[in-house]
Amino acid sequence: MVNQFCSIDTCKRPSRARGWCTLHYNRWQAHGDPLTRLVSRRRAVTSVCSIPDCRNKHEARTWCANHYALWRNNGDPLTHHRVGNGEYKGKCLVSDCGIERNCRGMCVTHYRKWRYQQGVGSDSPESRAAAKRDRRAKKYGPQPNPFTGIQWEYIQTLCGHTCVYCKQTPEKLEQDHVVPLSRGGAHTSSNVVPACGGCNRKKHTKSIGEFQND
């Protein structure tokens, strides 16, 4: 049968959590010891962290905010944060960089550079270019079906990664709207074709017929 009373020998209050009553549970939550008496609010604000050589203001469990966060994340107020594959936090792995690690063994600056170079997330050139095209399209009104990067990749593959106008295969293809946005065209997969930079700029706001007759 589960004990319905506090596990502290001298306490007969009903059990709330972890085998303790509300009073002893609150003491444990605040200080890490159910037998430690709660300090007053004024004293808690003015006291300092109990970790040696740390003079930061007490936050919870006799520790400052930094050591309390370490305890919550790792179970030990003296254990550094873990990163990625289980390494402990230290200095950035990039040579000649002494900044603390943030992710994948790199500091914030080098991690963002890595994301940019790898084309990961919103930091990549492709993502920024796509966001710019979406903003431009929205200037001409709401778009019924958002045009995604996956759809763009599919269209390029369907066209053999060539410009639909000059049939050249440039290093980078641009999105051309068959019916220009300025003429009421939509920024959707049914109105976008791959084009080289030269053809895209020559066509500009012209229709297909006007562009072919030039």
Q: Does one domain contain both 146 and 97?
A: no
Higher-pLDDT residue of 45 and 204 is 204
Q: Does one domain contain both 107 and 146?
A: no
Q: Does one domain contain both 156 and 132?
A: yes
Last residue of a domain, one of 89, 105, 123: 123
Higher-pLDDT residue of 137 and 158 is 158
Q: Does one domain contain both 116 and 145?
A: no
- Amino acid code (one letter) for 79: T
Asked if residue 171 belongs to a domain, the reply is: yes
In DSSP terms, which residues pair with 177 in a beta bridge?
192
Last residue of a domain, one of 104, 123, 142: 123
Distance, CA of 83 to CA of 76 (rounded, Å): 16
Asked if residue 47 belongs to a domain, the reply is: no
- Average pLDDT (186-192) is 86
Distance, CA of 140 to CA of 131 (rounded, Å): 15
Q: Does one domain contain both 89 and 100?
A: yes
Q: Does one domain contain both 89 and 140?
A: no
Sequence-ordered strand ranges (E) for the chain: 82-83, 87-88, 174-177, 192-195
Q: Does one domain contain both 119 and 85?
A: yes
Statement: residue 180 has pLDDT above 60: yes
Asked if residue 154 belongs to a domain, the reply is: yes
Residue-level pLDDT at 44: 42
Asked if residue 20 belongs to a domain, the reply is: no
Q: Does one domain contain both 152 and 208?
A: yes
Residue-level pLDDT at 208: 86
User: pTM of the prediction?
Assistant: 0.41
Statement: residue 10 has pLDDT above 80: yes
Q: Does one domain contain both 110 and 179?
A: no
Asked if residue 67 belongs to a domain, the reply is: no
Residue-level pLDDT at 116: 66
Show the domain range for 149.
126-213
Q: Crossing angle of helices 125-138/149-158, nearest 10°? A: 100
Residue in the block written with tokens 């319905």? 4
Tens digit of each residue's pLDDT (9 = 90 or more) over 84-100? 444 445 777 787 887 87
Residue-level pLDDT at 126: 62
Tens digit of each residue's pLDDT (9 = 90 or more) over 27-80? 777 767 777 765 544 444 447 888 888 888 877 777 888 888 777 765 667 766
Total number of domains constituting the chain: 2
Asked if residue 1 belongs to a domain, the reply is: no
Residue-level pLDDT at 165: 92
Q: Does one domain contain both 109 and 154?
A: no
Residue-level pLDDT at 176: 92
Asked if residue 16 belongs to a domain, the reply is: no
CATH number, domain with residue 179 = 1.10.30
Last residue of a domain, one of 123, 148, 179: 123
Q: Does one domain contain both 137 and 206?
A: yes
8 A C-beta contact, residue 85 and residue 97: no
- Average pLDDT (194-204) is 91
Q: Does one domain contain both 119 and 100?
A: yes
What are the backbone angles phi and psi of residue 123, rounded to the nearest 5°?
-85, -10
Asked if residue 48 belongs to a domain, the reply is: no
- Amino acid code (one letter) for 121: G
